[in-house]
Structure 1
Amino acid sequence: MTTLNSVWQQLTLTYLSPYQWRNGSLIYRLSGCLRTWRQGSWLMQWGEPLGAVLISLVFGFAPFVGTALIGILLVACAGFWVLLTLCDDPSETAFTPIHLLVLLYWGIALAATALSPVKAAALTGLIKLTLYLLLFFLMARILRSPRIRSIFITFYLHIVLIVSIYGLRQWFFGVEASATWVDPTSAQADLIRVFSYLGNPNLLAGYLLPACALSIAAMFVWEGWLPKALGLTMTAVNCACLVLTFSRGGWIGFVALMFTLAVLLLYWLSINFSPFWRKWAVPIGIGSLAAILILAVLTVPSLRLRVASIFVGREDSSNNFRMNVWAAVLEMIQDRPILGIGPGNNAFNKIYPLYMRPRYSALSAYSVILEIAVETGIIGLTCFLWLLVVTLHQGWLQLQRLRELRNTQGLWLIAAIATIIGMMAHGAVDTVWYRPQVNTLWWLMVALVASFYQPSRQAVVSSNQV
């Protein structure tokens, strides 16, 4: 058991010392080279608030504008992160085990681009990936401040509330929808699927997943009856809007998110429970959620039909489409299993037509796992899964620490962990994750976990010895 525990700790980089990396890193030596200039600059004295404003612009505009403007804002965030890093005191340079895996994943994507059969198209994808990762670096740095973190999350939840209210308006007053969103030969042909400002119900479902978790956390974090009532309203509106997208992938993600959130919230609250409730709170809570879910499916006809369509296989046109795409993608992976075809949808669009089944054109693999494997091969997929394991493990370690301190900021961490699980569950059967409105949210959740990082005592001791 001791050996297995040691292997797990090494796998999850539990005792990695960021200080050791910083002392031997050329990049680290560059950080802080402009800190003297920052001390005399009035503008850079507000570096963290300015960074918060930039990331707020990204998430404030994302659901309402096209990808071009989002790209410009991402470039601005990347530039500001570089400037902030050069101006930082070296001791402030953010580096965690999560950062290490992110850098490794970027290096693999770089190698996949260099060896891609469509290098120009893959280079475009690499540039996009780089902008997302630099946004992660900036967010992980800026959101370390509890005050900035809480203000930013509050701002984000108000933006999502606007999106969700407009989605509910579409449900109540009707909206013209694309015929491709519902199988015209099924009993659901007249089903209204809301899409709000994002133009696609599946995309809207992926966009709303983080807001559902964060709004539930807000009910516990925000103080006073009025803020808590606002949090409750946001929760009801966001969850209702997500359900009314009738996105089956979104529902899968929502169920995974809610079950994870329930377990972690009960764990968080159980520190004040009696012995009986410490033992039975989680089973009772999970059982209650399962009962509510089953009851809803049994009593709401449209919900029941939509859930049933998940299990009919190729009889549903959407299922049949995905299965044909997945078969073609698996052949692509078999032909280039090591480093794939290179990152990005442009590379995918160049290669996929060579493998696709007649009449089943696609812009992506319709599965995050398959998409990563086809873009960066087995090596890239292994690194991504490693990143996922390390992120969740670090989140769990910091959650335990915050729980002992009774620090309510830990509830934001619970929401981030639950969202990561939910988005991966959704991503298993869809790739809206690669749209900037959703991809930025994925890296926000990872950055939230990284922002709570505190090195273990053993890591600090070992770095001092070095």
Structure 2
Amino acid sequence: RAVVQYMLWFYVLTRIIENDGDIYAFCATMIGTATLIALHGIYQYIIAVPIPSHWVSQAEMGVRTRVFSIIGSPNIMGSYLVMIAPLTAAFAYYLKPLWAKMLMWGCTFLMCLACLFTFSRGAWLGMAVAVFIFALYRDRKLIALMALAAGVAVFIPQVANRITFLFTSEFDLANMFGGRGGRRREGLKLLYSVNPWFGYGLGRFGGAVAMQNQINSNISYFYMDNYYLKTLVEMGYIGLGGFIFTLAGFVFNAMRSIHRTKDEPVSTIAVGMFAGLAGVMTHCLTENIFEVPYMNAYFWGAAAIVIYIGFLRARKQQGRQHRSL
């Protein structure tokens, strides 16, 4: 249920959206909420909110805090902002009034700044992918702007510490013993000890369901911090292949949706959503993003709107015109 149920939001939203007003309402709610969360995160950084000691290593003591807002996790907050920031930038291109454009750019800046203050390297990577995809479709000058912003960011001591720590012996040691490298090794060891084609069993290892229902006392339970690897261990090569096929099908049809509406302004909204979702899929390489119920629901809800814009929007508009005749 934790894996499949939230995918149903895709089918629900593609059926209940009736017009562009519904799309705008959905997007406005997401942008408004994300802006408030970003502001709260920036406030947390200013006051240096206390955080658990295990959120940073001893070698990264220059990182005084990591923001998390009401979400409770810097990594998940970062991924949430990765999803919404490109959509907000899309509205900066989509809207006509200057004040509305400036407002959207301001909200986008706040989200990017709050994402930086999460000090989530996976979220940073996801944001870079999201900006790159958005820039390819809408404004390639943003690639240079992203490079400039990244160049400035690395001169911030806390950011530099988070990045350079990846290339230290301390990181190698922490990674292999208790870090993601060690978890990957143990997960694959379990996979090959059972059935590599079908896995250990859905919901039985590497995620929230397994952590809450530890049914085997002979193994140590932990989060895999890689949703694709978790899926591989639980569902084997066949299950992971099916999941990747599902995501690839969405990516392919999202690109078709954008292409079908390329001459319409609403295409920019689809581009923004698609870019954000691509960033989340990238972040899943280092975090169990889809394990968080609302992130899973947001993802498939946004995916539904991308597909609706390219495949169902024109059909529903024609249906309303026929009914009015």
Please tell me the TM-score bracket, short chain as reference. Answer: 0.7 to 0.9
Structure 1 pair 155–318 and aligned structure 2 pair: CA distance change class (3 A): farther
Q: C-alpha displacement at 1:290, in angstroms? A: 2.7
| Equivalent residue number for residue 190 of structure 2 | 332
1:169 to 30, 43, 63: 43
Query: Following superposition of structure 1 onto structure 2, how do residues 433-444 of structure 1 map, counting pairs within 5 Å?
Result: 433-444=290-301
Structure 1 pair 317–193 and aligned structure 2 pair: CA distance change class (3 A): farther
Q: CA RMSD in A?
A: 2.3
1:385 to 233, 241, 244: 244
The answer to whether the 8 Å contact 2:79/2:283 transfers is yes
Classify the secondary structure of the residue corresponding to 2:188.
helix
CA distance in 2, matches of 1:431, 1:352: 21
Classify the secondary structure of the residue corresponding to 2:198.
coil
The answer to whether the 8 Å contact 1:413/1:449 transfers is yes
Aligned residues: 304
Q: C-alpha displacement at 1:402, in angstroms? A: 1.0
1:202 to 58, 65, 75: 75
| Equivalent residue number for residue 350 of structure 1 | 214
Structure 1 pair 187–374 and aligned structure 2 pair: CA distance change class (3 A): closer
Structure 1 pair 422–317 and aligned structure 2 pair: CA distance change class (3 A): farther
Structure 1 pair 331–365 and aligned structure 2 pair: CA distance change class (3 A): same
Report the more deviating stretch, 332-341 or 238-247.
332-341
Structure 1 pair 325–292 and aligned structure 2 pair: CA distance change class (3 A): same
Structure 1 pair 373–187 and aligned structure 2 pair: CA distance change class (3 A): closer
The answer to whether the 8 Å contact 1:182/1:191 transfers is no
Q: Which has the larger radius of gyration?
A: 1
Query: Following superposition of structure 1 onto structure 2, how do residues 66-215 of structure 1 map, counting pairs within 5 Å?
Result: 127-143=1-17, 145-183=19-57, 185-188=58-61, 190-215=63-88
Structure 1 pair 288–160 and aligned structure 2 pair: CA distance change class (3 A): closer
1:370 aligns with 2:244: no
1:322 aligns with 2:180: yes
The answer to whether the 8 Å contact 1:340/1:373 transfers is yes
CA distance in 2, matches of 1:316, 1:446: 37
Where does the alignment leave 5 or more consecutive residues of structure 1 unmatched?
Answer: 1-126, 267-281, 456-466
CA distance in 2, matches of 1:189, 1:301: 7
CA distance in 1, matches of 2:111, 2:124: 13
Letter in 2 for 1:372: T
1:312 aligns with 2:312: no
| Equivalent residue number for residue 158 of structure 2 | 302
Classify the secondary structure of the residue corresponding to 1:128.
coil
CA distance in 2, matches of 1:139, 1:181: 36
Structure 1 pair 314–428 and aligned structure 2 pair: CA distance change class (3 A): farther
Q: Report the TM-score when normalising by structure 1.
A: 0.61
CA distance in 2, matches of 1:395, 1:290: 26
CA distance in 1, matches of 2:251, 2:132: 16
1:243 to 116, 121, 145: 116
Per-residue deviation, residues 128-167 of structure 1 (Å, max 9, x unmatched): 3343122221122234632201111011111111111111
CA distance in 2, matches of 1:227, 1:248: 31
Q: C-alpha displacement at 1:237, in angstroms? A: 0.9
The answer to whether the 8 Å contact 1:182/1:189 transfers is no
Letter in 2 for 1:305: N
Where does the alignment leave 5 or more consecutive residues of structure 2 unmatched?
Answer: 313-325
The answer to whether the 8 Å contact 2:76/2:289 transfers is yes
| Percent identical | 24
Classify the secondary structure of the residue corresponding to 1:186.
helix
Q: C-alpha displacement at 1:314, in angstroms? A: 5.4
| Equivalent residue number for residue 283 of structure 2 | 426
CA distance in 2, matches of 1:367, 1:391: 20
Classify the secondary structure of the residue corresponding to 1:229.
helix
Q: Report the TM-score when normalising by structure 2.
A: 0.85
Letter in 1 for 2:158: S
| Equivalent residue number for residue 286 of structure 1 | 143
Per-residue deviation, residues 47-105 of structure 1 (Å, max 9, x unmatched): xxxxxxxxxxxxxxxxxxxxxxxxxxxxxxxxxxxxxxxxxxxxxxxxxxxxxxxxxxx
The answer to whether the 8 Å contact 1:216/1:235 transfers is yes
